Amino acid sequence: MLNFLLRSVGLGLITAFIILLAVPSLRSNIIPEDIVDTVESFQELRVSFSDAVLRAAPAVVNIYSRKYTAEDRSTLKTQGLGSGVIVSDKGYIITNFHVIAKADQIIVALQDGRIANAQLVGKDRRTDIAILRIEMTELPTIPLNSNYDAQVGDIVLAIGNPYNLGQTTTFGIISATGRSSISADGRQAFIQTDAAINQGNSGGALVNTHGELVGINTASFQQATDLETYGISFAIPYALADRIMQKIIADGRVIRGYIGVDGQDINTMTSRLLGGDYVGAIIILGVAPEGPAAIAGLQKNDVLLAIDEQKINGRQSVMDIVADLRPGTTVNFTVLRDGETLSIAVQVGESADPE
């Protein structure tokens, strides 16, 4: 009897469902109208980042580097292709150093059809950043947000001019942050993304879903290592690119502090062995002979805790703090040595630029 009732109810429900599908006018009498509207709205929903692209894309320019030919010093030939980002209405453009490294002339093409010769304001080989300037009015500038904190999983868009096809936007997420293994000296922290970055994208913009600048596209893993890889690309964080730009505008080059130590982050286990809360500090593994740190008295196995009473947060933070120090200034380094806390004054030197 129970099986007969269940079978009857099931057949009734199936019949009712078929009738509702066949006669749409009956649905509004049974299903509340607001639910119907919600379902229809969901069906029409379209995910799009067109607003972000509209905000950012006009400020991403095409860059052509030209060089005099060996046969005829009066003839210029285009020998490089890249992209750049207009970050100021004064005409400042951030791009990659490798895009313009060998250029005798730099041509900038805007998306509105205007073309200009660019002046090289300065370059920094270490971070692969170059700053250009063009003399134009009514320049589009990319939205900037100094409070944006890039997180793994954030959706990002890469805008540039791959293979000179014309401006192109690719889509992905931030796969990792703080990637320093591919930098020339292991000091610069890159953003890793799976948004496609191809030849010609270098120097272009990596933006978030609001069209705000997240980073400057610099290389794919394949370009950096010659390995056959896909979905692994890198960008220079906007905060670093902006800091380099401000230094170049102020001094014409990047002046970095130098003390001559190398160290390793202290983990929770090492902190316990030292008998305190030293997570974030670094243990000094090497001191450059005759460097500022050695002259001041810093030693191997010292635990570096703070710089001018500013608590450090790992090896990368030490490199960033020291790089921003002005050569010739004296700063106090707080270290732990044999269980005793010491304050050692170090006169900062100047870091030599890589060849």
Q: How many CB atoms lie within 10 A of CB 195?
A: 23
CA 232 → CA 123, 154, 198, 218, 350, distances in Å? 26, 15, 11, 12, 34
Nearest CA to 145 among 235, 219, 236, 209? 209
User: Residue 83 burial by CB count (10 A; 0-12/13-18/19+): exposed, middle or buried?
Assistant: buried
Beta-ladder partners of 331:
346
Residues with a catalytic annotation lie at: 98, 128, 202
Question: What is the rounded CA–CA span in Å between residue 67 and residue 276?
Answer: 59
Question: What is the rounded CA–CA span in Å between residue 297 and residue 319?
Answer: 19
Q: Which stretches of 80-190 are DSSP H helices? A: 97-100
